[in-house]
Amino acid sequence: MKRELILNLAVSLDGYVAREDGSYDWIQAPADSMPNTDLQFDNPAFFENCDTVVIGHRSFLDLGLDDIPGAQEKQFLIARRGPEEKRGNLQFTPDLVGAVKELLSQEGGPIWLFGGAQIADSLIAEDLVTEYILGQVPVILGKGRRLFAAELPEIPLKLIESTVTDGIAMLRYRKVGK
């Protein structure tokens, strides 16, 4: 199966993926089921389907693997400034773009681009992301780490699914022509 890189992140209404200090305590469902849609985005099925997770070093240190379902069965590609290193199912690399390009040339399942924002921007700038799944959390942070902070090329997208779960709008977009 041809692999795809899929960005799946929670984002505030004003476009932030984390507070200035990198925390994400604001990512909580308001438990408002009134606007729920019949169709629900199945995050657990998405996570299970991905065989590789791309994550920044800071996000990896902040989050660890405990909050990622099935982490022991997945491969992790972790960006960092130090030398290339492999530890079990963890691969640390200073050349994230090159490592992702290599993964995309191989057979396998979808690759989940977890974040953070800087690595997402670098991979988007290289036109490597084919699908964008954004969980729109109903909060305005006002400042923090913005998704799409870099100057990026124009990328036409098509909305392929929209659902609401507990007040969080899940929006799935694909690059046009992919």
Q: Distance between CA atoms of 100 and 110, rounded to whole angstroms?
A: 12
Q: Name the residue ranges covered by the structural domains of the chain.
A: 5-175
User: Which of 156, 158, 76 is CA-nearest to residue 112?
Assistant: 76
Cα 114 to the center of its chain, rounded Å:
3
The CATH number of 5-175 is 3.40.430.10
Q: What's the confidence (pLDDT) of residue 52?
A: 93
Average pLDDT of the segment spanning 151-156: 90
Q: What is the pLDDT of residue 37?
A: 87
pLDDT at 32: 67
Global confidence as pTM = 0.91
In the prediction, which pLDDT does 68 show? 73
Write down the mean pLDDT value for the chain.
Answer: 89
Given a cut of 90, whether residue 29 has pLDDT beyond it is no
Higher pLDDT, 12 or 177: 12
The three-state secondary structure class of 98 is helix
What mean pLDDT do residues 105-130 have? 93
